[in-house]
Amino acid sequence: MEREKYTFHHESLQDSQSITELLQAITQGLEQGQLDFSDEDGEIAMVPHGLLHLKLKASKEEGRNRFNLSVSRQDNPDEKPGKKSLKVNKKNKSKKS
């Protein structure tokens, strides 16, 4: 039996507000159990449920700040959930009078 493979790739320059809106849409899709990604070049739909594998990498080097967030899921996972707890702290902007 041949396995089907679908891929979707998007890369663009966005401001932080646009990225916030995209992340909120992804969050909502995870909560609802349906993620749909699309642009002018293609589309893909996913139905995430059960345990999801989270991978986060952050770095600062030579004036370049980067973080990569990866979420994946296998149809028949053999792994047990990790015991490490991730914390992401946001700092409120101080308002100037």
Helix (H) or strand (E) holding 21: helix 16-32
Number of helices (H) and strands (E), helices first, in the chain? 1, 4
Q: By the 8 A CB rule, do 10 and 37 touch?
A: yes
Mean pLDDT of the chain: 86
Statement: residue 96 has pLDDT above 60: no
* pLDDT attached to residue 40: 94
CA distance to 4, 25, 67, 80, 91, per residue, from 58 (Å): 32, 22, 4, 24, 17
Number of CB atoms found within 10 A of residue 48's CB: 15
Q: pTM, whole model, 2 decimals?
A: 0.74
Measure the CA–CA gap between 88 and 97, rounded to whole angstroms.
Answer: 28
Model confidence band, residue 79 (pLDDT cutoffs 50, 70, 90): low
Residues 36-57 have a mean pLDDT of 92
